[in-house]
A and B are shown apart, each in its own frame.
Chain A
Amino acid sequence: MADVGASPLLELRGVTNTFGALKANDGVSLAVGAGRIHALLGENGAGKSTLVKIVFGVLKPDSGDMLWQGAPVEVASPAAARKLGIGMVFQHFSLFDAMTVAENVALGLDGARADAALERRIVEVAESYGLPLDPRRATHTLSVGERQRIEIVRALLQDPKLLVMDEPTSVLTPQEVERLFVTLRKLRDEGRSILYISHKLREIEELCDAATILRQGRVVAEVDPRRTDARRMAELMIGSELKGVARPAARAPGEVRLAVRGLDLPPEGQFETPLRGASFEVRAGEVLGIAGVAGNGQVELMRALTGERRAPRADMILLDGAPVGALGPEARRKLGLAGAPEERNGHAAVGDMSLADNAFLSARHVRGLTSRGALRPRAARAYARDVIAAFAVKAGGPDALARSLSGGNLQKYVVGREMLQAPKVFVVAQPTWGVDAGATAAIRQAIVDLAAGGAAVVVVSQDLDELREISDRLVALNAGRVSRAVDAASASVEEIGLMMGGVHGEPPAATGGAVGLAH
């Protein structure tokens, strides 16, 4: 085991990596000591993932050196990285749904077979680190947290000295995060190192021994997260002062604008989540947050709300009291329901079209951008210009291609395009996903302001902090079911976490009994 003062386990010196005109990493140096949990902190696009890919041998740096236990190494491939003792848990799992746990583990180990011996080792490792896992289960039956365990166990089976984890908690409930941290601390206490990539400051404060902060591909600071204020770290990360959302004074909510009543939606494909009796209401002037771990029906719910998929019965979705469940997106927009799905490029906008053309996608009816089947390009350009100005979109103008905009700017454009139609109801998914801090603040403020103006807003997000910041009430989505609503300001993280995990805190069969009495 390395002593303090000995050479670090992993050291990067002056790593630079360029993609076209973009410098993803610019002279990055960092050192991960043995037996330490080292955070790599930065916003989306700061260059964290690129750096990790270099460490794991997926990418080759343009220049710079990597040292392993003090000796220069060249990691030519992930297999070479594994041989050195580097394990990796990617943000997006590489698992085959149709295979068992053991088969998926075997695929990731060079030359292993899913036999009884491997199953025994999986159970052994899983139990000793508090990661219960049945090697014979089919992967598609597992929750996201359990799938992550497969990846972790797979990495641990190779007895790594360094475990790299890329945004491991983005798919977990708060309780699952706690459990993961116990495991990670145990690994550290055994003398292993962990390179922990995240942009969640609270986790880093709680877990990590050291932190390297990246901004625009450069190291801007090395801090001790246990002794550094989270606010300070955030400001280093985004390079400017943090701005909070200004919320209007609490008012009595208005009438119900959007009501979802017992919405069932069968899955369209094998791996979709069915919606099961989803019910909730949103009132004028209110922001309803829908929390939940990805894959619990968010995408399906968004489609059902915007009309991309019809509800089985029209009265399952009511807009201002009128049934709209059988209507398509165009008809719902005419009635004042606007939506912005989470995928900007290719869903909410067409990358290869100009911003003006993208205005036709969703604003053509409400803003009169067409007349008798003919496009009105001038009206569309004027509208795009309005959106660009009102939402401070950094773009070359209405003729700029959507894909030429950064993620944050395109998101501002999409959100602005919907909001300037003055919708009565606005549903938006992951409004600030992959968006830089400045744009995030602007978008959250716009959402709050829209509701203050009398609209009902539904925000589907995986970011609990975001939901607590902008919502009035919260529900959670779990396996296609919607929990009861709680007050966003007073609900504890634990309570919301339980809701996200499917424990809804309702007295069992209470509703069923009430129906029985009515007869």
Chain B
Amino acid sequence: MAWRIEPRAERSRALDLAAPALAVAATIVIGSLVFSALGYDGLGAAREIFLSPLADPQRWPDLGVKSAPLVLIAVGLSFGFRANVWNIGAEGQYVVGAIAGTGVALAAYDMAGYWILPAMLVAGALGGAAYAAIPALLRTRFKVSEILSSLMLSYVALQLLYFLVRGPWRDPQGYNFPQTRTFTDWETLPAVVPGTVLHLGVPIAFLAAFLAWIVLRATVLGFEVRVVGLAPAAARYAGFEADRTAWRTMLAGGAFAGLAGILEAAGPFGQLTPQFPQGYGYVAIIVAFLGRLHPLGIALAGIVMAVSYVGGETAQTTVGLPGAAAGVFQALMLFCLLAVDMATRYRLRRVAPAPSAAGARP
């Protein structure tokens, strides 16, 4: 008996949309089995990581804060991913965006005014875009794979951050700790709901996702990105130059990541420290695909991913899971998504052995 994997003739749209939900469910099942096998309370772990943050309204602001950078970066990446531009270095653009915005903040340290914060945000977005311009230039001019160049540049960005917080930008009153000055009130994102951690960056991120959806749906720019992704030759026919699209999507991805970076610096951190990069730039890749590269889907996926972060921290104390457990669940989610996608696009068919084969052979 033989089995064969073959593409499904008709892909069901419902199944396509349900795939991420199925993937999350599969993640919970497999994750709890794995942690049970390791001697933990597997079911409890899955419950703590995926359910308790949602059940407790007190944690909701945390979810918002965690999801904001993920959503913002993932939406930016989704433009490129749709157009076959594989920017893997959002982490670096995130860090450089934070650095650029912080540069403005430090320069305006002794000043006051409402202009400072917007200037920081603009500088952050520009910084991220400028950093993404390097792999874009390498790709369009020298045909260097942006996958490698953008990824490697992320490590360069980390070194730049370490250098700045230990050297020129070190807080003069900071007892030699490697960190910048803490931002002034003019330089810090105000809380949206007073008394909570919910800062202005959270609505900005979700608003950006909504605007991205409009751009993708209703503008020639968005059309260009969709066509390049679906049929590159047709894009060329339509007059959309491949290199121009690569530039635009890379710069957009960098700008979104850079904006996420400065929002994080001017929000929860209030300064730059070596602990600033938390891997959001990488996790956002999972979020982008979990959200089906669709801005609204990404907003939802960002919340799911934030749940796993917040829940992962709770689970460390309540179930005694190691800190890496949340990471395991996050990676498992991407893995399950790929598996579910495979299952929705292909099917396993049993190939019946030929009935008269034996008789025909001499």
Contacts and interface: CB of A to CB of B under 8 A. Distances in A.
A362 B237 contact: yes
A330 B236 CA distance: 10
B356 A361 contact: no
Contacts of A339: 237
A391 interface: no
Given A330-B239, A351-B231, A361-B234, A373 B219 contact: yes
A135 interface: no
A109 interface: no
A183 B163 CA distance: 78
A339 B234 CA distance: 12
Interface in A332-381: 333, 339, 341, 343, 346-353, 357, 360-362, 364, 370, 373-375, 377
Which of B10, B219, B221, B233 neighbours the largest number of chain A CB atoms within 10 Å of its CB?
Answer: B233
B9 interface: yes
Interface in A288-338: 306-308, 328-331, 333
B354 A74 contact: yes
A99 interface: no
A308 to B, nearest CB: 5
Interface on chain B toward A: helix, strand, loop, or mixed SS? helix
Given A349-B234, A350-B231, A329 B219 contact: no
Nearest to A352: B230
Given A20-B9, A74-B356, A373 B220 contact: yes
Contacts of B219: 373-375
B139 to A, nearest CB: 17
Contacts of B356: 72, 74
A60 B4 CA distance: 14
B239 A76 contact: no
A382 interface: no
Contact of A308 (B223, B237, B357): B237
Nearest to B226: A353
Contacts of A373: 219-221
**For this complex, into which size category does the number of interface residues on chain B fall?**
20 to 34
A347 to B, nearest CB: 4
B236 A308 contact: yes
B16 to A, nearest CB: 12
Given A347-B231, A351-B231, A373-B219, A328 B237 contact: no
Contacts, number: 77
Interface in B326-362: 354, 356-357, 359-360
Interface residues on A, range: 35 or more
Contacts of B354: 60, 74, 76
B241 interface: yes
A194 B210 CA distance: 64
B238 interface: yes
Nearest to A306: B237
A330 B226 CA distance: 18
Contacts of A307: 239
Contacts of B359: 74
Contacts of A352: 230-231
A347 B237 contact: yes
Nearest to B361: A74
Contacts of A308: 236-237
B227 interface: yes
A353 B221 CA distance: 16
Which of A73, A361, A364, A370 gathers most chain B CB within 10 Å?
A: A361
A347 B234 contact: yes
A374 B227 contact: no
A60 B2 CA distance: 14
B234 A360 contact: no
Contacts of B238: 329-330, 360-362
A370 B218 CA distance: 10
Given A20-B9, A74-B357, A76-B354, A375 B239 contact: no
Contacts of B221: 373
A341 B311 CA distance: 54
30 contacts: A60-B354, A72-B356, A74-B354, A74-B356, A74-B359, A74-B360, A76-B354, A306-B237, A308-B237, A328-B241, A329-B238, A341-B237, A346-B231, A347-B237, A350-B227, A350-B230, A351-B231, A353-B227, A360-B223, A360-B238, A361-B227, A361-B237, A364-B220, A370-B220, A373-B219, A373-B220, A374-B219, A375-B218, A375-B220, A375-B223
Interface of B: 9-10, 217-223, 226-227, 230-231, 233-234, 236-239, 241, 354, 356-357, 359-360
Leading 9 A-B pairs by shortest Cβ distance: A330-B239, A329-B239, A74-B360, A347-B233, A361-B238, A20-B9, A350-B231, A346-B231, A350-B234
Interface of A: 19-20, 60, 72-74, 76, 306-308, 328-331, 333, 339, 341, 343, 346-353, 357, 360-362, 364, 370, 373-375, 377
